[in-house]
Structure 1
Amino acid sequence: MGILNILVLILAMTFIQGSQSTTLRITNHCRFTIWPAILTGSGPPASSTGFELASQASKYVTARPHWSGRVWARTQCSNSGGSFSCKTGDCGSNQISCNGKGGAPPATLIEYTLAGGGNNDFFDISLVDGFNLPVKVVPSGRGCKSTSCPVDINAACPNQLAIMNGRAKIGCKSACLAFGKPEFCCSGSFANPNVCKPSNYSQIFKSRCPQAYSYAFDDKTSTFTCHNGANYQITFCP
Structure 2
Amino acid sequence: MAARGLLTILLALLVSGTHQATFTFKNNCRYTVWPGTLTGAGSTQLSSTGFKLDSGESSSLVAQPPWSGRFWGRTLCSTTTTNSFKCATGDCASGDIACKGAGAIPPAALIEFTLAINGSNDFYDISLVDGFNLPMSVTPQGGNSSCQSTSCPADVNLMCPPELDVKGPNGEIVACKSACEAFADPKYCCTGSYGSPSTCKPTTYSMIFKKLCPQAYSYAYDDKTSTFTCNGANNYLITFCP
Tell me the residue number matched to 1:119. 120
- Provide the rounded CA distance (Å) in 2 between the counterparts of 1:116 and 1:127: 27
- Provide the rounded CA distance (Å) in 1 between the counterparts of 2:118 and 2:135: 29
- Provide the rounded CA distance (Å) in 2 between the counterparts of 1:53 and 1:28: 6
Tell me the residue number matched to 1:97. 98
Instruction: Indicate whether 1:203 and 2:207 are aligned.
Output: yes
Q: 1:56 to 1:157 in 2, by over 3 A?
A: same
- Provide the rounded CA distance (Å) in 1 between the counterparts of 2:118 and 2:223: 16
Secondary structure (helix, strand or coil) at the match of 1:222 reads coil
Tell me the residue number matched to 1:109. 110
Instruction: Indicate whether 1:137 and 2:144 are aligned.
Output: no
Tell me the residue number matched to 1:37. 36
Code of the residue aligned with 2:128 in structure 1: it is L
Secondary structure (helix, strand or coil) at the match of 2:46 reads coil
Deviates more, 1:46-55 or 1:222-231: 222-231
- Provide the rounded CA distance (Å) in 2 between the counterparts of 1:100 and 1:5: 39
Alignment of 1:37-186 (within 5 A): 37-42=36-41, 43-80=43-80, 81-115=82-116, 119-140=120-141, 141-143=143-145, 144-165=147-168, 166-186=170-190
- Provide the rounded CA distance (Å) in 1 between the counterparts of 2:27 and 2:239: 6
Deviation readout 1:50-103 (Å, 9 max, x if unpaired):
101000000001111011000000000001121001000111111111111111
Q: 1:117 to 1:109 in 2, by over 3 A?
A: farther
Secondary structure (helix, strand or coil) at the match of 2:134 reads coil
Mind listing any 5+ residue stretches in structure 1 that lack a counterpart?
Answer: none
Tell me the residue number matched to 2:25. 26
Code of the residue aligned with 1:60 in structure 2: it is S
Q: 1:84 to 1:28 in 2, by over 3 A?
A: same
- Provide the rounded CA distance (Å) in 2 between the counterparts of 1:3 and 1:106: 56
Please report the RMSD computed on the Cα atoms of aligned residues, expressed in angstroms.
Answer: 1.3
- Provide the rounded CA distance (Å) in 2 between the counterparts of 1:120 and 1:105: 29
For the Cα contact (< 8 Å) 2:144–2:233, is it kept in 1?
Answer: no
Mind listing any 5+ residue stretches in structure 2 that lack a counterpart?
Answer: none
By how many angstroms is 1:116 displaced?
6.0
Q: 1:179 to 1:138 in 2, by over 3 A?
A: same
- Provide the rounded CA distance (Å) in 2 between the counterparts of 1:61 and 1:54: 17
- Provide the rounded CA distance (Å) in 2 between the counterparts of 1:194 and 1:85: 40
- Provide the rounded CA distance (Å) in 2 between the counterparts of 1:8 and 1:33: 50
Give me the TM-score of the superposition, normalised by structure 1.
0.96
Code of the residue aligned with 1:197 in structure 2: it is K
Code of the residue aligned with 1:105 in structure 2: it is P
- Provide the rounded CA distance (Å) in 1 between the counterparts of 2:46 and 2:16: 19
By how many angstroms is 1:12 displaced?
2.3
Count of residue pairs brought into register by the alignment: 237
